[in-house]
């Protein structure tokens, strides 16, 4: 049997902030859904925190599987400045029931930030000893997405609805620009007719 390992890394998102789906960034919802399916298959567990444009993720499992996933994650263009901040061998999993737990900004995280006088969640500015403290906050956090799964109708409906709404509002915007342009041309034409210049 292989050794169990725990890694923690931080990164910055590269995507534009979009409207939240049930208070969660849609890109994060998609990452979570994919992670839950893949990690369950590969015997991996962990937790993901996303706040102020920064990711903080802990992954646990057999060393080879964790390393293979981390190599994939490093190539993912949805984030950058990926920095491994902790790697250690463990005797048991900290998140045995979580293929990928999602921890939101809750009261305990707010207290952690206030206690250290941080204005926002910027893990690059945290001292190394903060890593385990953040992890214990995340282990205790309530996951509002525990019912989210790639197969979950509520997830696909939520993500689908967001993209539908964005697509429809984009189309309406283009239509209103075309109608404004046509109205301008007609107005100029009418003025020219009135003044007899046509
Ligand atoms: P597919 O889903 O088929 O993806 C194929 C390729 O497309 C991959 O290279 C993938 O990176 C890329 N891709 C897919 N969707 C997008 C997109 N919307 N934008 C840009 N590129 C995309 N995966 C896990 O399995 N477990 C995790 O715990 C996990 N945590 C992650 C945490 C963060 C912060 C991020 C950004 C990603 C995480 N991922 C995780 C996703 C991971 O990087 C890979 O995208 C995923 O594992 C690929 O799954 P797949 O092999 O089934 O390929």
pLDDT in tens, 60-99: 999 999 999 999 999 999 999 999 999 999 999 998 889 9
Calpha distance 108→57 (Å, rounded)? 17
Domain ranges of the chain: 4-147, 151-198
Q: Which pLDDT tens digit goes with each residue over 108-123? A: 899 999 998 999 999 9
Of 12-21, 27-36, 43-52, 147-156, give the lowest mean pLDDT range.
Answer: 147-156
Hey, whose CA ends up nearest to atom 43 of ligand 1?
Answer: 73
* Helix/strand/coil (H/E/C) assignment for every residue in 146-193: CCCCCCCHHHHHHHHHHHHHHHHHHHHHHHHHHHHHHHHHHHHHHHHH
List pocket residues of ligand 1, CB cut-off 6 Å: 11, 31, 34-35, 38-39, 46, 48, 55, 57, 59, 69, 72-73, 75-79, 100
Distance 80 CA to ligand 1 centre (A): 13
The CATH number of the domain covering residues in 4-147: 3.30.70.100
Residue 194, C-beta contacts closer than 8 angstroms, at least 6 positions apart: none
What is the chain's mean pLDDT, rounded?
Answer: 85
Of 18-22, 39-43, 187-191, give the lowest mean pLDDT range.
Answer: 18-22
Burial status of residue 78 (CB atoms within 10 A of its CB: 0-12, 13-18, 19 or more): middle
């Amino acid at each position: 049997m292989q050794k169990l390992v725990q890694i923690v890394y931080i990164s910055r998102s590269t995507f534009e902030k979009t409207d939240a789906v049930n208070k969660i960034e849609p890109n994060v919802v998609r990452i979570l859904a994919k992670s839950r399916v893949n990690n369950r298959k590969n015997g991996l567990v962990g937790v993901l925190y996303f706040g102020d444009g920064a990711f903080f993720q802990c992954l646990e499992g057999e060393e080879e599987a964790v390393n293979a996933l981390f190599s994939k994650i490093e190539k993912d263009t949805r984030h950058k400045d990926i920095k491994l901040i902790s790697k250690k061998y463990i005797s048991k999993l900290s998140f045995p029931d979580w293929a990928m737990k999602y921890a939101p900004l809750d009261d305990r995280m707010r207290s952690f930030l206030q206690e250290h006088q941080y204005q926002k969640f910027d893990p690059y500015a945290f001292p190394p000893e903060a890593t385990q403290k953040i992890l214990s906050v995340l282990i205790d956090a309530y996951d509002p997405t525990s019912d989210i799964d790639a197969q979950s109708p509520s997830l696909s409906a939520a993500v689908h609805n967001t993209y539908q709404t964005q697509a429809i509002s984009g189309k309406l915007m283009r239509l209103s620009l075309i109608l404004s342009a046509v109205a301008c041309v007609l107005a100029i034409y009418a003025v020219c007719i009135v003044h007899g210049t046509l």
